[in-house]
Structure 1
Amino acid sequence: MARVFTAAVTSVVAAAAGAEIAYADDPKSRATVSGFDPEALERGAKALREINGSKDAKKARVFELMRKQEDTRQAELAKKNAKYQALRAKHETSTQRLIYDEKKKLVQQEAEEKSKVARYEDELSRKRNKELLKMQEESSLRQEQIRRDTEELIQEQKRQTVMETAEVERGTIKVKAMAEAEGRAHEAKLAEDVNRRMLLVRANAERKMMVVRANAEREKWISAINATFEHIGGGLKAILTDRDKLVLAVGGVTALAAGVYTSREGARVVWGYVDRILGQPSLIRESSMARFPWSASSAASRNGSGFGDVVLNPSLRRRIKQLASATANTKAHGAPFRNFMFYGPPGTGKTMAARELARESGLDYALMTGGDVAPLGSQAVTKIHQLFDWSKKSRRGLLLFIDEADAFLCERSKTHMSEAQKSALNALLFRTGDQSKDIVLALATNRPGDLDSAVADRIDEVLEFPLPGEEERLKLLRLYLNKYITRAGEEKRGWFRNLFRRQQQTIRIRGVTEDLLEEAAAKTEGFSGREMAKLMASVQAAVYGSRDCELGSGLFREVVDYKVAEHQQRRELAAEGSA
């Protein structure tokens, strides 16, 4: 009985253990059972009830069976326990692995969080630094802009001050120049009055002397005339008393008068015919072509003055020499000539350059001005054709230079031209329609834009004559100083004019150095070559107006300043007139 009870207890315990194993193995049982399996207890209780109700034999077999079942169950429980232990170990291992993985993930997450925090802090720090740098740059830019604005304001104030100072200085110089000019004019007027009075005194004295001499001469001539008439009276008396002598004297006087009248009228007719054949047209102001063949060499030498009184820019001078050489070669090869146009301010040497171009190329030249055509009226066309007919008589070729061409060849559609002027222009266009082998047409103008388009179409080469630069002005000062001061009075005249001409006083030069000439060249900016010549002519006049006929640095500088102020005043008046 004790064994049966033990087996029942064992069965109950085994059932409880099996219930625990089943609980561990079955997740669903873990979800539904709190501690053990109640079926094992029921089986144990049932077994105990069967034991208590069975007989001995049956009880022995039952116990044996139960023992076997219990052993089997114990073996199964042992297996299940081992399996449970393995599962538990595996579970613990997986749990540890999960814990390790979770810890690892946690560490990684913490590292990532720390990295994100560090990156965020770094990004935030960079943004703060960038914003700080941007603020510093903006502050620097604002400070730089403020500094620039301040400097520009200061420079503007300086420029304004300089302009006001320059305006005051110009006004002062202008007032001073005007005052000096008025003073010189007053002095000149006083000197002129003194000279006039002296001349009047001298003239009165000379008139008295001349009266005395005239009286003496008159008495002398009266005596001679009386003696002559006495002789003539005696002769007339002899002729009148002798009839043959009277007829012979009247016939001789009549024949003499007829001969003189016939010779004069005949010479007038002959020379008129020769002048129509060989004469120079009235439009020509100056020419190297002589009226008659036997005087051609002298005429050419008389008119070929070249570059004596003109100083040109070196590049322009080289260009003129190149054109002269090309024109000479064109003439030698029988090719047609090319036409030129010279334009630039007045007094820059266009006429002299045309003369030099003709001389260097071996051509004759003729000078006319466009202002002479308009007064001719209806005769202008005839004169133009006569001019071109005459120009073809040159054996060497002719360079026809038309000065002030815009006065004659202006645009027909832009100006009000008379019919006569239009006809003259059309005549010139007709005669210059083709390239000529006899005539080179050279036009000079201050306004090239005013020329007619048909005239401009006939121009092959255009040369600009600018105002002389400082180096050219210095050369002009040297040239005209030598001409008007150093060699004053050396002009060659005929012996008859020199016989009655008073000897000119020599000008003494003191203090006019090269530095003074360079200073004058710098002051005379904007002067043309003609104005430089007039400047030195004014210096010569000022020297002749002085008492000792001496040119010093003070007088030279005074005249230069006066002419510079006068030039500036003319420019201002011209600007006001154009405005």
Structure 2
Amino acid sequence: MQEESSQRQEAVKRLTEEQIQRERRQSERERAELERETLRVKALAEAEGRALERRQNEDVYRRELLTKMELERERLLAAINTTFRQIGAGVYGLLGDREKLTRTVIVTTALAAGVYSTREGARVVGRYLERVLGQPSLVRESSRATFPFLWRRGAHSNAGLLASNPATDAMRKGEGFGDVILHPALLSRVRSLASATANTKKHGAPFRNMVFYGPPGTGKTMAAKQLARDSGLDYALMTGGDVGPLGPDAVTKIHQLFDWAGKSRKGLLLFIDEADAFLKERNAVSMSENLRSALNALLYRTGDQSRDIVLVVATNRPEDLDRAVVDRVDEALEFPLPGEQEREKLIRLYLDKYVMRAGEDSRSSWRKLLRGGSDKIEVRGITDDLLQEAASKTEGFSGRELAKLMVSMQGAAYGSQKSELTPELFQEVLTYKVAEHAQRKKIVEQHQSALAAPAGS
């Protein structure tokens, strides 16, 4: 009996201890939940306080701006009134003197005739120079200058800029490709093609045509330009969307483009962005006869391998390209969205370019002089951990979106009172842009679902 009583007491004791432990754990959970709620309420209160402070500052700035605008308006009205009074006095005096009025009419007529003749003559000469020497209207950008002395000046200026560019220094060390940050495998492939193209040019062999495909903003255009530079070629950029509006003139413009490109002494890389806009499948119902004729003209000019022109077409939809265009392609390179390591490198590159080096451009010297000070941004507390966190949070961002992110950082810094970028401001802009990216992605997915719905029904 005594042993059973001891066992019951032990059991009751264990139950009591377990109950006490459960109540203690429950109390700890409730305390932790209360602390979390307190922190959340405190964070919301701080955020509301910062928002209220910003609104108050904006109100003060708006009132000051309105006061300045009113003063400027009054000054401008006074100047206009003074000017018109002087003009009125001059016209009154002129009308009162018949001889002076006659001379004024003769001189004004002669001056108008001279201006008109000069303008029309310049227009005719300009058309002739453009037709004989200038670049075709389809070319949006080119490294090939029309006049040699302009080319020498531009080359000298670019050399100076490249010499001080950290991206170029990284490229020389084998860590980059100009301002292009690519996946290591893709970077190796592009460098190999640049070397092969340079050797092809050296030995006078036919060039190889290429297609760059992948999401927008992944560095296709920049890679093509850098490939041309490393190969010793000129480059010219055009976009497929410019061909459609030309209508029946598109065929003539395509032939003019290839005639001009073939005259480059160094050889020329012709880059066609958004190529699927006019190089899509010819059997497509939506393709007009003018676009189909323009495509046939391009196919005619690229039927044989060229020793003068490297054709590089870029598209986000390679499956839409005409089969004859694909048949003319020798190399196909996919440009995917940057991975986390590439995103961190891009963030560092654009942070240096748009934030840390803001205000160093010599072209802004007049703006600095008028403002009476420097427009440099002071960067405080932006650590490696913060940049790594930004690279992790920006999954799915393209290189162009990361550049825009740093431009937003620049704008936010200039919008602050001291033109400085702090970790708090960095996080605020990053959070906003990540949310904006997610919303844009959702809209695109909904649009694609809406387009696919009729086909699936």
Is the structural similarity TM-score above 0.5?
Answer: yes
Partner of 1:215: 78
> What code does the residue aligned with 1:266 have?
G
Partner secondary structure for residue 493 of structure 1: helix
Distance (Å, rounded) in 2 between the aligned partners of 1:313 and 1:394: 32
Aligned partner of 2:324 in structure 1 is 454
Cα deviation digits, residues 508-540 of structure 1 (max 9, x gap): 322211111112222222222112112222223
Q: Is the 8 A contact 2:211 2:314 kept in 1?
A: yes
Tell me if 1:272 matches 2:127. Answer: yes
Shift of 1:311: 1.2
The reply on whether 1:507 has 2:362 as its aligned counterpart is no
* In 2: Cα distance, 1:416 partner to 1:230 partner: 66
When normalised by structure 1's length, the TM-score is 0.60
Quick check: 1:281 aligned with 2:151?
Answer: no
CA 1:231–1:483: 2 relative to 1, 3 Å: same
What's the counterpart of residue 135 of structure 1?
none
Higher relative helix content: 1
Structure 2: distance between partners of 1:254 and 1:505: 49
Q: Which runs of 5+ in 2 are unaligned?
A: 1-39, 163-167, 169-176, 450-457
Deviates most, 321-330 or 439-448: 321-330
Q: 1:231 to 1:475 in 2, by over 3 A?
A: same
Counterpart of 1:491 in structure 2 is 361
For the pair 1:199 / 2:62, whether they are aligned, the reply is yes
What secondary structure does 1:337 align onto? coil
Q: For structure 1, which runs of at least 5 residues remain unmatched after alignment?
A: 1-175
Contact (CA 8 Å) 2:275, 2:315: kept in 1 or not?
yes
Verify: 1:549 aligned to 2:404, yes or no. no
Check 1:258–1:202 CA distance in 2 against 1; reply closer, same or farther (3 A cut): closer
The question of whether the paired residues in 2 share the 8 Å contact of 1:377 and 1:421 is answered with: yes
Counterpart-to-counterpart distance in 2, 1:550 and 1:257: 54
Instruction: Tell whether the 8 Å contact from 1:287 to 1:303 is kept in structure 2 after alignment.
Output: no
Q: Is the radius of gyration larger for structure 1 or structure 2?
A: 1
Distance 2:184 2:431 in 1: 28
Of the three residues 293, 296, 301, the one matched with 1:431 is 301
- The SS at the match of 2:312 is strand
CA contact 2:178–2:226 (8 Å) conserved in 1: no
Q: Structure 1: how far apart are the matches of 2:158 and 2:346?
A: 22
Q: In 2, distance between residues paired with 1:224 and 1:575? A: 63
Return the offset for 1:283: 1.3
- Distance in 2 (CA, whole Å) between partners of 1:301 and 1:284 is 23
Contact preservation (8 Å) 2:94, 2:100 = no
Query: Which structure is higher in RCO with an 8 Å CA cutoff and minimum separation 6?
Result: 2
The number of residue pairs the alignment matches comes to 390
Q: Distance in 1 between matches of 2:284 and 2:423?
A: 52
Q: Map Cα deviations across residues 379-431 of structure 1 (whole Å, 9 max, x no partner).
A: 21121111111212212111100011122211223553111111111111011
Q: Distance in 2 between matches of 1:503 and 1:297?
A: 34
Letter in 2 for 1:366: A
Alignment correspondent of 2:174: none
Percent of pairs with identical residues: 57
Measured against aligned partners, the alpha-carbon deviations of 1:304-342 in whole angstroms (never above 9, x if no partner) come to 877543212233223222222222222222221111111
For 2:66, give the aligned amino acid: A
TM-score (norm 2): 0.74
1:562 aligns with 2:442: no
Deviation at 1:375, TM superposition (A): 2.0
SS, match of residue 338 in structure 2: coil
How far apart are the structure 1 equivalents of 2:306 and 2:234? 15
1:388 to 258, 262, 270: 258
Query: Is 1:368–1:403's contact at 8 Å kept on the other side of the alignment?
Result: yes
Aligned counterparts of 2:276 and 2:181: Cα–Cα separation in 1: 25
